[in-house]
C-alpha cells in the first residue's frame, strides 16, 4: 500500500491509498499517472493533480453536461474541449437527440490510456458514429471553426496551468461566443472559491466571461476529491437563463437516470454562498 498525496493549498494535503501504480508516462504535454485503489477504484492524475476516479466521476460528469440540456433540450451539436477521459462525451451521447459531438483533446495519450484503464468513462465513446475525435489544441480549433456552428461548448479542462492555460483566456471565450449559435451555451470548468489560488482563477475566469456573454452564471457541486470539495462550473449563454428557463418536463422526458443531477438540484446549484457571490462580483 502506498499513498498518492495532493497538495490542496500551502497548508493542507489530501491523500489516497492505492494498491498499484498502473501506468506512468510523460507525454509531450504532461505527466500522466494511473493508480488503482479500493475505495476510489482506478484514478489518474495529470501533472500530479487528481482528474478522474471511479468513485466520484459521476458527480463531475453529471454536472458538466445535464444543466445545459435541461435549459435547452434542443441541443444537437456539441463541442467538447478537453475531456480526454471520455466521461463528458459519454454523458452527452446519452441524448438520442444529439447529432454531432466534436471532442478536441490536446493529448491523445490521455484518451488512449483511459480506453485501456478507465473504461467507465472512455468505453464506447470512439465507436459512437456521432463522435468526431480530434487530438489537437482546443484554442486553435475554435479559432478555425465556422461562426454559429455549435449549440453547446463544454470546456472540460485542467486548471489554468500548462495545457489548460489557453482555455482560461479572453481570446478563447471570444471564439467560443462566435462559434456558438444564437441559442448557444458555454459551460466551463470554473475552479473553486475556497483556497486562495483556485479562488483567484475563479475570479479571473468570471471577469473575462462576463465581459463577453449577456447571460452568465456560476453553479456549484460537491466534488470530494477536488481541492476543498467545493467546485464550480460557469454557465454562459446568449439567450437562456439556466434557472428561469429550465424545462423540467422536457428534460424528464429524456428518461435519463442520473446519480447526482436532478432538476431540483439544477436550480439549487445556482444558489451560491454569500462569500462566493461576493468574490465573483469583485473587480466589477
Q: What residues form the annotated binding site for spermidine?
A: 61, 85, 156-159
Phi, psi of 7 (to 5 degrees): -80, 115
Collect all residues with Cβ–Cβ distance below 8 Å to 117 and sequence separation of at least 6: 22, 23, 34, 42, 44
Closest distance to a copy of itself from the beta carbon of 3 (Å): 8
Helix (H/G/I), strand (E/B), else coil: 110: helix
Closest by CA to 21, choosing from 119, 120, 123, 117, is 117
264 near a copy of itself, judged by CB under 8 A = yes
Closest distance to a copy of itself from the beta carbon of 218 (Å): 13
Binding mask 204-243 for a copy of itself (x = CB under 8 A): ----------------xxx-x---xxx-------------
10 near a copy of itself, judged by CB under 8 A = yes
Interface residue with a copy of itself among 32, 46, 51, 59 (CB under 8 A) is 59
**CA 47 from centre of chain:** 17
> How many residues in the chain?
284
Collect all residues with Cβ–Cβ distance below 8 Å to 215 and sequence separation of at least 6: 236, 237, 238, 239, 240, 241
Window of 82-90, 127-135, 152-160, 260-268 that interacts with a copy of itself by CB under 8 A? 260-268
- Per CB under 8 A, contacts with a copy of itself among 265-284 are 265-275, 277
Closest distance to a copy of itself from the beta carbon of 110 (Å): 24
Closest CB to a copy of itself among 148 and 265? 265
Instruction: Name the DSSP letter for residue 227.
Output: G
Closest by CA to 254, choosing from 263, 265, 243, 245, is 263
- Per CB under 8 A, contacts with a copy of itself among 151-210 are 194
Of 33, 56, 156, 183, which residue is the catalytic one?
Answer: 156
Interface residue with a copy of itself among 71, 121, 201, 258 (CB under 8 A) is 258
CA atoms of 35 and 24, how far apart (whole Å): 9
CA atoms of 35 and 49, how far apart (whole Å): 12
Q: Which three cell numbers stand for residue 139?
A: 484554442
Closest by CA to 176, choosing from 151, 205, 200, is 151
Window of 9-17, 80-88, 96-104, 116-124 that interacts with a copy of itself by CB under 8 A? 9-17
Residues contributing to the annotated binding site for S-methyl-5'-thioadenosine: 30, 105, 137-138
Closest distance to a copy of itself from the beta carbon of 27 (Å): 27
Distance of CA 227 to CAs 5, 38, 159, Å? 12, 21, 12
- Per CB under 8 A, contacts with a copy of itself among 62-81 are none
**Is 147 part of the annotated catalytic residue set?**
no
As annotated, the active-site residues are 156
Report the interface residues with a copy of itself, using CB under 8 A.
3, 9-17, 37-40, 56, 58-59, 194, 220-222, 224, 228-230, 258-262, 264-275, 277
Amino acid at each position: 500500500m502506498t499513498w498518492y498525496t495532493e497538495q490542496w493549498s500551502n497548508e493542507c494535503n489530501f491523500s489516497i491509498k492505492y494498491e498499484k501504480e498502473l501506468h506512468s508516462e510523460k507525454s509531450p504535454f504532461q505527466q500522466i499517472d494511473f493508480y488503482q485503489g479500493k475505495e476510489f477504484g482506478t484514478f489518474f492524475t495529470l501533472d500530479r493533480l487528481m482528474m478522474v476516479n471511479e468513485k466520484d466521476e459521476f458527480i463531475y460528469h453529471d454536472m458538466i453536461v445535464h444543466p445545459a440540456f435541461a435549459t435547452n433540450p434542443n441541443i444537437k451539436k456539441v463541442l467538447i474541449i478537453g475531456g480526454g477521459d471520455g466521461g463528458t462525451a459519454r454523458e452527452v451521447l446519452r441524448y438520442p437527440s444529439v447529432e454531432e459531438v466534436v471532442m478536441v483533446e490536446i493529448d491523445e495519450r490521455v484518451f488512449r490510456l483511459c480506453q485501456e484503464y478507465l473504461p467507465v468513462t472512455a468505453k464506447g465513446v470512439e465507436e459512437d458514429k456521432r463522435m468526431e475525435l480530434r487530438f489537437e489544441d482546443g484554442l486553435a480549433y475554435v479559432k478555425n471553426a465556422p461562426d454559429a456552428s455549435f449549440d453547446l461548448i463544454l470546456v472540460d479542462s485542467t486548471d489554468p496551468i500548462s495545457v489548460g492555460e489557453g482555455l482560461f483566456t479572453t481570446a478563447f471565450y471570444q471564439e467560443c461566443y462566435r462559434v456558438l449559435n444564437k441559442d448557444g451555451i458555454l459551460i466551463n470548468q470554473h475552479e473553486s472559491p475556497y483556497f486562495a489560488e483556485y479562488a483567484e482563477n475563479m475570479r479571473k475566469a468570471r471577469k473575462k466571461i462576463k465581459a463577453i456573454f449577456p447571460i452568465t452564471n456560476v453553479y456549484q457541486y460537491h466534488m470530494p476529491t477536488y481541492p476543498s470539495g467545493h467546485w464550480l462550473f460557469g454557465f454562459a449563454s446568449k439567450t437562456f437563463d439556466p434557472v428561469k428557463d429550465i424545462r423540467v418536463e422536457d428534460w424528464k422526458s429524456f428518461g435519463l437516470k442520473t446519480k447526482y443531477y436532478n432538476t431540483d438540484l439544477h436550480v439549487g446549484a445556482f444558489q451560491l454562498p454569500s462569500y462566493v457571490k461576493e468574490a465573483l462580483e469583485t473587480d466589477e
